[in-house]
Amino acid sequence: MKGKGLLQRLGFLKSMGFGIFLLVFILILSVISTILPQNQEVQFYVEGYSEYLAELIFILGLDHIYTSSLFAMLFGALAINLLLCNTMRLGKTIRKVRQRYNIAAMKKISSYKLTKPMNDSLALSYIFKGYGAAGIFKYKCKEGIYFSSKNTLGYFGSWFLHLGIMLIILSYIYGQATFFSGEVFGVPGERMNLEGTEVFAEIRSFDVSYREDGSVEQYITELQLQDTSGEQRQHGSISVNNPMRYRGYSFYQTSMGWAAECEAFKAFIPLKSQLIYEKTALNIPEENIAIALTKFYPDFAADSMNFSSLSDKPNNPALLYSIFYRNELVKMDIVKPGEYIQWNDYSFTIDNFRRYTYLKVNKMRGQLGAAIGGLLIILGLALTFYVKPRELAIKQEGEMLFIYGKAAEQNRNNSGMNTLSIENFINNKEDGIDVK
Amino acid sequence: MLSEKQGFLMALMLYSLAALTYIMFLVSKKLKLSTYGSWFVRAGLIFHTLALAMRTIETSYLPLTSQYEFATSFAWGISLFFVGFEWKYKIRSLGAFATPLILIVTFYAALQSSEIKPLMPALQSKWLFVHVSTAIFSYGSFAIACAVSIMFIIRDRLKESDFTSNHMPQLSILDNMSYKAITFGFFMLTIVIITGAIWAERAWGRYWQWDPKETWSFITWIIYAIYLHVRLNRGWKNKKAAWYAVVGFLSILFTYIGVNTILAGYHSY
């Protein structure tokens, strides 16, 4: 009894109905994920939605659907469904392939009355062709019955397809579970450690190439990867769509911006000097003061409403800074690079602007599995839709010739041959071929 | 020499004429009108092809990189599939259902900016052309499946007459046509998603990151996957399948137009 119960449960888990239920569930969650803003602060949902709806959002993890347990469980269940379905399907598929030469598994499609004995290979070919066995096919005789089959691989289409989907799901789950994400950024000459690894990256150069019309053609970073001793391990150029690969790590050209040298003084005595990036600040905690490079305008232009940059080339550079004292904004203005910025006893200079590059670094395992999965899906679909298995059998009983097939309408092709022409051919009424 | 704009406008005009004559054929039941419709749409396809070729020559890349370019290529794809289906199945009345779809997408293209912009770094990839051109074939095929399914739904409601028996195929044939178009569209959509994933890995660092466009392509893929499962395994055919194909195409339209206009993501070119 226990065994039967387990089998029943397995039967449900492998069923198409369960698979479709999971797909519909995933579909609904996917739709919600594009309607409901994801990964927002708790307050966003509390204020934006009713109390009950907000609670439901948190319980089901709808605020972060793609990383929620529910979503992971659904994909896990789908992988199990596919695994069980495919395991059980394999036996059935192999049985189908073996039954190619089993007339009991076929249906009688048509019959012809023979006026002469018929055992000529040309006639057999002609009949097989007439019933859709055109192209590459073989026939064999088994116990006086002629069998022909083609596109047998088509039986495995659905199997490959489901295996491919399963591989992609498993590879994706594995990839997500072991995903590494890091960053490398800086101006040329900077060297930094890729956090959490023993890889060091030195930015050798960063260039922006322009077309004649002034539009950006490409962002190119020349990067050298080193080990802890500073020995070069890899060296190359990275641009958008052309990442650098090193031991599973991929370095992507993701972004760029401006950086400058910032110096702070108190009563003209130097306090601190540091490279700061756009939207970052030079902070002096002991003095409770900070200056932020709020925005850099390489080609500054101003009208009554706005500040803007006419291009991203430093034709007329200007910068917007913000000074914070005891965490409060105390001054904000536009100045030229290198110009003295004064607030009370403090003074600052922001100068020597350079472009910095920002590279995202990922290490995602399971990509090979996903790639094989993708190929299997394409192969599976091609086999399922366009490689239809066909089987035919010709059996002679006395004066009668019987044609058997798996599916009559599938085995008919558009060769233009009809039963009459086949009968004429067999009985040598039309073509004048001597059929013994 | 014909400019891209002239070619596009000629195609738009010819598609409009084709839609008009096909619908008049359906209403007046005059066979000659369907012949005109067929010629108009074929001529429209020729001008459309020339327009796309002219733009390709001008830009040095296939017109697949902006809303306008994708819309005009999408309309071209539907048109190409329609001409192919009409030629293969010899069903003139299909034009009354397919040409309005071609026209809608062509008009949508006409509403977009056709300004030629230099290719931004993110779009400089050979994968772009594989990814987007397969999308044209996929969407075009789904559009024809939708047109055939609408025809099925209408044919199903009409009383049997000389016109329906002579010019509208049997329901089983329409059902099969829709299925064939969906299988091809699904095959292509799968390639679209896979090539998109490969490209995303090279450009953004992850082959799947639930960007709204990715998510909606996935949703559309699930919709058609369910269709194929229930059809092949449960014999789900005819009217239910026809309505389902129409819903599937609405999902395609949302993936293409809705996502780009309503939802923000990486695909905002």
Per-residue pLDDT of A229-268, as tens digits, reads: 888 899 999 999 999 999 999 999 999 999 999 999 999 8
SS3 A185: strand
Q: What is the DSSP string of A224-256?
A: EEE-TT--EEEEEEEETTB-EEETTEEEEEEEE
Q: Is A73 on the interface with B (CB under 8 A)?
A: no
Q: Is A31 on the interface with B (CB under 8 A)?
A: yes
Cβ-defined contact of B222 to A242 (cutoff 8 Å): no
| Residue A220 per-residue DSSP state | E
- The pair of three-digit structure tokens given for residue A417, joined into one six-digit string: 């041959």
pLDDT of residue A407 exceeding 70: no
pLDDT of amino acid A119: 57
Helix (H) or strand (E) holding A6: helix A2-13
pLDDT of amino acid A436: 32
User: Partners of A316 in the beta sheet?
Assistant: A299
Q: Is residue B129 part of a domain?
A: no
E-state strands within A51-137: 107-113
Could you give the percent of chain B with pLDDT greater than 90?
A: 72
Instruction: Name which of A411-425, B83-97, B209-223 the model is least confident about.
Output: A411-425
B233 band by pLDDT with thresholds 50, 70 and 90: confident
Helix, strand, coil distribution of chain B in percent, nearest 5 = 80, 0, 20
Cβ-defined contact of B121 to A241 (cutoff 8 Å): yes
pLDDT of residue A414 exceeding 90: no
A293 band by pLDDT with thresholds 50, 70 and 90: very high
A134 band by pLDDT with thresholds 50, 70 and 90: low
pLDDT digits (tens, 9 = 90+) for A190-207: 999 999 999 999 999 999
More confident residue, A158 or A106: A158
| Residue appearing with tokens 């797909």 | A23
Where is mean pLDDT largest: A176-185, A386-395, A424-433? Answer: A176-185
Q: Where are the domains of chain A?
A: 2-77, 102-151+388-426, 186-363
Indicate the average pLDDT of chain A. 86
Please list every residue in chain B whose beta carbon sits closer than 8 Å to the beta carbon of residue A161.
none
Q: Is residue B6 part of a domain?
A: yes
Judge if B89 and B150 occupy the same domain: no
Query: What is the average pLDDT across B168-180?
Result: 92
The ipTM (two decimal places) reads 0.90
Cβ-defined contact of A16 to B190 (cutoff 8 Å): no
Judge if B60 and B173 occupy the same domain: no
Chain B residues within 8 A (CB-CB) of chain A?
A: 117-118, 120-122, 124-125, 183-184, 186-187, 190-191, 194, 197-199, 201-208, 210, 212, 215-216, 218-219, 222-223, 225-226, 229-230, 233-234, 259, 263
Judge if B243 and B205 occupy the same domain: yes
Judge if B92 and B160 occupy the same domain: no
Q: Report the number of distinct structural domains present in chain B.
A: 2
Helices A2-13, A69-98: crossing angle, 10 deg rounding: 100
Please list every residue in chain B whose beta carbon sits closer than 8 Å to the beta carbon of residue A33.
210, 215
Please list every residue in chain B whose beta carbon sits closer than 8 Å to the beta carbon of residue A20.
226, 229-230
Judge if B97 and B159 occupy the same domain: no
Cβ-defined contact of A252 to B215 (cutoff 8 Å): no
Please list every residue in chain B whose beta carbon sits closer than 8 Å to the beta carbon of residue A253.
121
pLDDT of amino acid A421: 58
Name the residue facing B122 among A20, A31, A240 (closest C-beta). Answer: A240
Q: Is A16 on the interface with B (CB under 8 A)?
A: yes
Judge if B32 and B105 occupy the same domain: yes
Q: Is residue B25 part of a domain?
A: yes
Question: Of B225, B253, B230, B232, whose CA–CA distance to B240 is shortest?
Answer: B230
Cβ-defined contact of B202 to A66 (cutoff 8 Å): no
Judge if B83 and B150 occupy the same domain: no
Taking the C-alpha atoms of residue A201 and residue B260, their distance in angstroms, rounded to an integer, is: 37
- Please name the amino acid found at residue B154: I
Cβ-defined contact of A360 to B118 (cutoff 8 Å): no
Kindly report the CA angle at B95 between B71 and B259, in degrees rounded to 5?
25
Cβ-defined contact of B229 to A27 (cutoff 8 Å): no
pLDDT of residue A217 exceeding 50: yes
Taking the C-alpha atoms of residue A272 and residue A252, their distance in angstroms, rounded to an integer, is: 33
How many Cβ atoms sit within 10 Å of the Cβ of residue B262? 11
pLDDT of amino acid B206: 86
Q: Is A374 on the interface with B (CB under 8 A)?
A: yes
Q: Which residues of B27-56 are buried (b: 16+ CB within 10 A; e: fewer)?
A: eeeeeebbebbbebbbbbbebbebbbebbe
pLDDT digits (tens, 9 = 90+) for B7-20: 999 999 999 999 99
- Residue where a domain terminates, one of B54, B84, B119: B119
Q: Is residue B64 part of a domain?
A: yes
Phi and psi, residue A342, nearest 5°? -115, 135
Q: Which residues of A75-106 are buried (b: 16+ CB within 10 A; e: fewer)?
A: bebbbbbbbbbbeebeeebeebeeebbebeeb
Strands A249-266, A346-363: pairing is antiparallel
Cβ-defined contact of B124 to A218 (cutoff 8 Å): yes
Judge if B76 and B150 occupy the same domain: no
Judge if B153 and B267 occupy the same domain: yes
Question: Could you tell me the fold of the domain covering A102-151+388-426?
Answer: TATA-Binding Protein (3.30.310)
Domain with B153, as residue range(s), is: 146-269
| Residue appearing with tokens 């990036």 | A277
Q: Which of A16, A30, A173 to mutate to test the interface with B (most CBs of B within 10 A)?
A: A30
A118 band by pLDDT with thresholds 50, 70 and 90: low
Judge if B254 and B161 occupy the same domain: yes
Query: What is the average pLDDT across A20-39?
Result: 94
Give the largest CA-CA distance in chain A. 120
| Residue B90 per-residue DSSP state | -
pLDDT of amino acid B2: 82
Instruction: Name which of A71-75, A314-318, B263-267 the model is least confident about.
Output: B263-267
Judge if B150 and B209 occupy the same domain: yes
A434 band by pLDDT with thresholds 50, 70 and 90: very low
Q: Is residue B128 part of a domain?
A: no
The C-alpha torsion from A321 through A327 and A328 to A334, rounded to 10°, is 0
| Residue appearing with tokens 């509208």 | B168
